[in-house]
Each structure stands twice: as structure tokens, then as C-alpha cells.
Structure 1
Amino acid sequence: MSSADEILDIVDEHDRVVGRAPRGEVYARGLRHRCAFVLVRDADDRVFVHRRTADKLVYPSLHDMFVGGVVGAGESYDDAALREAEEELGVSGLPRPTFRFSFLYDDGGARSWWSAVYEVRCELPVRPQAEEVAWYAFLPVPELRRRLGEWEWVPDGLAAWQRLEAHRPAG
């Protein structure tokens, strides 16, 4: 089964399931669905940052400070967060990511999804998926903040980062 054939839950503005459709149809028709975002920190508290591959369906070649992806039909956000983090980082045995908050991302156009934001510490050696990740590094938070104005970022990840930063003490 290709990723375009993966079945996703379609949700309303209150995150209630109202139907199901293949991912390809969800993207083509701009249907609201669910995504999990996981901020990954290493043992030195640096954040995993990566540039998406050029062939990604959504936001190709842009930088992101989250790993994650769509939540499958009937899958919980918690399960999707762990599955996606392990897949994208190329690891197994991660601790369960800690839920922080959720929000409705809407770009005002055809892209809208409920976004559950998590954090996890990864002290394992990472081997990111070549199909997903073109470049990566663990960056100290001050460097990540400097790069926000220099690199082009995925807009949903940037929105999640800004919300996460608003709830943290400076430093």
C-alpha cells in the first residue's frame, strides 16, 4: 500500500471524526485530518532539526524542528507520535513522547489539520529515513532560534514551535 492509499480519519473543527478517506484524497480535497508533531531533544538538550526531502507531498525541502506525520484512521495521537518519531529517527525503543498541547492548524487555504504536539528525549543513535530527511542536526535552542529567520520552515511546525515557546520560560 502506498502512502497515498493510507486511510485517515476526517475530522471537524472540534476534532470529532466525521468520515474516512485515503491520504491522497484527503490532500487533494483539502480535508481536515489529524497530525502528530514530536520535538526531539538529545541528552545535551539539543533539538533535532531536519530538512525534508524534495519529493515530500507537503512542504518539500523545507526545514522542520518536529518529526511526525499523519495519524492513521482509528489510531490515537499518542500511538502516532511514538510510531512517527521512531520511523523518522530510525530508532526503536524510544520512551513514549509527552503530550504538550493540541491546536487546529489552518493556513487559510486548503491545508487544515488538528495538531497534537509532543516532546521526547532520544539518547539513541539516530538513522533518519532517507525518504523523509535530506539533512539533519541536533541544534542548541539558541542556534535554532537564530535559524528561524535564516531558513525556510514548514509553516505548521513553525506555528507549533511558536506556541511551545510561548509556554516556556526564556532560556
Structure 2
Amino acid sequence: MLSSLVPDVFASNPVQQPKEQVQIVDENNQPIGSASRKDMREQQLLHRCSFVITRNSQEQVLVQKRVHFKEIYPSFYDPAPGGVVGAGESYEKSAAREIEEEMGISGVSLVRCFEFLYRDKMAQHFGGVFSCVYDGPLRLDPQEVESAEWWDLQDVKKLLQDGPVSPDSKIAFERYLKDCCGGS
């Protein structure tokens, strides 16, 4: 159970939105109800997350560093930012909402890439992965993102090897490179 693995960040940091309703799914990724974000984390309920791989016209990748008070993977780098899918929300709406909230990116065309199942001691979710191209300014949410920078692909690949990188985003990005970019 998650509550024995991490401190109760919800008690000390209400920014993590413990009452937010999250889409809960079954083993076939079919919606079966909703739960609060806090209950989802504490009971490690299977849910959905969206991920967005953002590249600019120079083929650089947007990599964010998560804030130190995130409930899971704090201070880790993230080459595929996104977040938890809300109750009744589609992967697409979640992806668009998350990159706008966290990075200030809006009005981009999101390309759906694939879905994957992720499980570790901290979380279990189905991830919906999207990509987009963006060359505009960033507006970071200081409650979610410590920093964000454009990285060359070779540097992102080194980050994936050396970390610290959010493990679910690592899997999403590696599969993106293999399946959507011809292994580049």
C-alpha cells in the first residue's frame, strides 16, 4: 500500500489536490468508477494518466523537472509530462489540460501515439501517450514544475540511462522512440 511507502503529502501539501476525482479502470482499461486522488494513491487503484512528448521545430524535447513536493517521483525529470486523467475525462482532454496547466502550452495539435500499462510500488495506471510540436513561450506552474528546458535527443537518451527520471515517463518515451520515431 502506498501510504506505507511515502509520507502523507496530502496532509502537508493541499496543492496535490487530494479530493480531485480520478478515473478508475479495470484490467482492460474500461472505466469502472472514480475515486479521490488520495484514495487512488493510498489504495493504489488502477487509473489512467496522460503523457505528452513535446518537440520543437529543431527536434529538441521539452523536459520538465518535477517539484520536490510531488506525491510520487518528486524532483525527477520528466521527458513526457502529463498527469492523472480526471473522472469522466478522455485521454485527449487530459493531455491538453495538463500541458496547458503545467507548461502554458495551448492550441497545439496532439497526435495520439499509443497506450501502455505501467506498474511499480508507487503507482499502477494505463498511460495514453501523445506528441506535439511547439515553438512558443512556456508558462510553468510553480506548484507542479520546478523547471523546463529544451534538450537535444541525445541528452534525453542519456537522462533515460542515468536518471533520475520518472519511471513511467521513461517507459513512455523509450516506446515512443521505438514505435513512433523508427528507433531514433
| TM-score > 0.5 by shorter chain | yes
1:149 aligned onto 2:149: no
2:119 maps to which of 101, 106, 126: 106
TM-superposed CA distance for 1:161, in Å, is 1.2
Name 1:160's counterpart in structure 2.
172
8 A contact 1:82–1:96 mirrored in 2:
no
Matches within 5 A, 1:55-94: 55-92=69-106, 94=107
1:32 maps to which of 30, 46, 53: 46
Name 1:41's counterpart in structure 2.
55
8 A contact 2:51–2:80 mirrored in 1:
yes
Name 1:95's counterpart in structure 2.
108
Which residue identity lines up with residue 155 of structure 2 in the other structure?
E
Structure 2 gaps of 5+ residues are 1-13
| Count of residues paired in the alignment | 169
- Aligned residue for 1:34, secondary structure, equals strand
Which segments of structure 1 move beyond 4 Å, counting only runs of 4 or more?
Answer: none
Name 1:9's counterpart in structure 2.
23
1:132 aligned onto 2:117: no
| C-alpha separation in 2, matches of 1:100 and 1:62 | 23
Residue identity over aligned pairs, in percent, reads: 33
Aligned-residue CA RMSD (Å): 1.5
Which residue identity lines up with residue 63 of structure 1 in the other structure?
Y
| C-alpha separation in 2, matches of 1:102 and 1:147 | 23
